[in-house]
Structure 1
Amino acid sequence: MSSLRIEQLFSVKGHVAAVTGGCSGLGCARTPSPLAALTDARVFMVYGLSLPTDPIEETVAKLNAIGQPYSGSAIGIPCDVSDKDSIAQAATQISSRETQLDLLCSNAGIRRDPPVACDVLKAPLAELQASLWSARPGDWADTFAVNSTAHYFLSVALLPLLAAAAEMGQHEGRGAVVVTSSCASMHNATNIDLTSHAASKAATDHLVRLLAAKFSRFYVRVAGINPGFVPSSMNPVGEEGNIFSALFDKVPAKRPGNEADIAGAVLYLASRAGSYVNGVSLCIDGGRVLLANGQE
């Protein structure tokens, strides 16, 4: 029987992590976030890789304040994750500071709804077609660039640092990639058109398996998380008139997700506790997919 205590199993103390999308949405410490989970767990260094236009300095200051009692610290690195050269530059900056990377939380994502909205579950054929046809090809390209392709290039650019961490940690948790997908990849039973978003997330789910297979010789683990209804700038859960508000009563948990739900999953996958998990995705949706797919 293992002599590891619970706090040791889930500890990421002294780990080095890179987190994309660190200034908004799920990446931000003000929401259910990888960053909040990691700083609370006494991370030695958290790198927030964000768009150059994001409030990096403000977010880094808040993270440093959170991590101060635990000797944690944060450094912000501007990065356009849809641009391969920008990703390479960010990887170079991290490599100049660290010899290994224990965790890549590839978390950045976008959603581009059709300009002409409708209730896809109730709209007449002509109205539905008009809404679906209004989708812009550029929005599809941007969605896949951030939601799928970026995870690939980030993981590849940081692979040497991740492999070094896996070897140093004797393949017991360090050197992991956690990719944020969405439960939308598993269904599309919503009252708005999420086709491009859901399709990009489905591609991301398969990418998790592809990368895990390619990195397996170095035991750089790749896993995904598929959140359901979770408050973020992309999804203002709880606000009056929210497009998803009518669907909340269809979630078995009867509530949106919260910080503990996401933080717990990230800590599990990033720590010794999840060190034998590889190439799979965890759905964190309160049971929404069960009902959305008709499994009542």
Structure 2
Amino acid sequence: MERSELAAQVVPLMQLSAGPSPFTSPAQPTASLSPVERAAARFGIHGNAIVTGGAGGLGFASCRALLEHGLSGLVIFDLDPTYTATRVLELQTEFPHANISFARVNVTDADDVNRNVEAVMQSLGSVDILLAFAGVAYCAHAIEVSVQEWRRVFDINLTGSFLCAQSVAKVQAKIGKRGSIVLVASISAHRVNFPQPQAAYNASKAAVLAMTKSLAAEWVRYGIRVNSISPGYMDTILNEGDGLKVARDTWNDRNPMGRMGVPEEVCGAVVLLSSQAGNYINGADLLIDGGQTLF
């Protein structure tokens, strides 16, 4: 834009929800239900979900949790069709009445994302929940990180999350149903990790936090709540191997609980943010780290 054009530009204005809007009103009262039924309704999961990176440790545990709480349809977006197919079969065996499938999707390709989100809409009728677990970790001294690697980390962790969120938000707004989008940040978004150097990863996850708040402010008028979770160090295959022993010992020593988390411990936050229990939670980030970030 030329300097002469700057004074003439018109800035788009954000539109907030009106209080009585059916998209942002309180949940319907459940006084007619028994206490047990009210508890179940509060954390019940309804409709259909897309989970990117759903074949991985945290994503898979979250898929199972959504199904346990009543999810009807699930589509996992992942790049590894062979491994994802085995995970889908495992879930389908455990939840025979749910509609569970997967699609090979490159989350950094907008056309691929849009095409597959639309396919989910056609097959299931709605996308009520998005969990964006697809991401990549990268450790290297910042002085040695190539621009290609820096951009790759941001492209997957930040741009990929945005493209999926944007595509799902468009279809949710179009059909006029409330929805929940849960993006995945990290404790790395809140502080510098130690002892491993990972500036690109930390910066990409901090950007996810900022993006979450922006999307939450813009999209809630459509009934779409956007939140994030920030898992701490988790005991998954990504943190196995003798080469990580020094790092694991350091992480455990610096955690008030003295250990890493397990994938199941992410599920409570996911269910909360995806259910009626999280109806007034918007633009929040939930730390799931055993207190790792206290120091």
Q: TM-score range by the shorter chain?
A: 0.7 to 0.9
Q: Match for residue 39 of structure 1?
A: 67
Matched residue SS, 2:251: helix
Matched residue SS, 1:221: strand
Using the alignment, how far apart are the partners of 1:216 and 1:53 within structure 2? 34
Distance 1:41-1:237 versus aligned 2 partners, 3 A rule: farther
Q: 1:105 aligns with which of 124, 131, 140?
A: 131
Distance 1:18-1:67 versus aligned 2 partners, 3 A rule: same
User: Displacement, 1:247?
Assistant: 2.0
User: Displacement, 1:235?
Assistant: 2.7
User: Displacement, 1:153?
Assistant: 1.0
Instruction: Give the TM-score, by structure 2 length.
Output: 0.82
Distance 1:60-1:53 versus aligned 2 partners, 3 A rule: closer
Distance 1:209-1:156 versus aligned 2 partners, 3 A rule: same
> Is contact 2:251–2:259 with CA below 8 Å preserved after alignment?
no
Range with bigger deviation, 221-230 or 48-57: 48-57
Structure 2: tracts of 5 or more residues without a match? 1-28
> Is contact 1:63–1:73 with CA below 8 Å preserved after alignment?
no
Q: Match for residue 90 of structure 2?
A: 62
Using the alignment, how far apart are the partners of 1:85 and 1:65 within structure 2? 32
Q: Match for residue 16 of structure 1?
A: 48
> Is contact 2:257–2:291 with CA below 8 Å preserved after alignment?
yes
User: Displacement, 1:162?
Assistant: 2.5
Distance 1:269-1:164 versus aligned 2 partners, 3 A rule: farther
Summarize deviations over 1:186-218 as a string: whole Å, max 9, x none: 011411101111100000000101111121221
User: Displacement, 1:164?
Assistant: 5.8
Distance 1:175-1:271 versus aligned 2 partners, 3 A rule: same
Alpha-carbon RMSD across the aligned residues, in angstroms, is 2.2
How many residue pairs get matched? 262
Instruction: Give the TM-score, by structure 1 length.
Output: 0.82
Q: Match for residue 81 of structure 1?
A: 107
Q: Radius of gyration: which is bigger?
A: 2
User: Displacement, 1:242?
Assistant: 5.6
Summarize deviations over 1:226-251 as a string: whole Å, max 9, x none: 00011233333999726232220221
Moved over 4 A (4+): 237-240
Given residue 19 of structure 1, which amino acid in structure 2 is its aligned partner?
V
What's the % identity of the aligned pairs?
26
User: Displacement, 1:37?
Assistant: 1.1
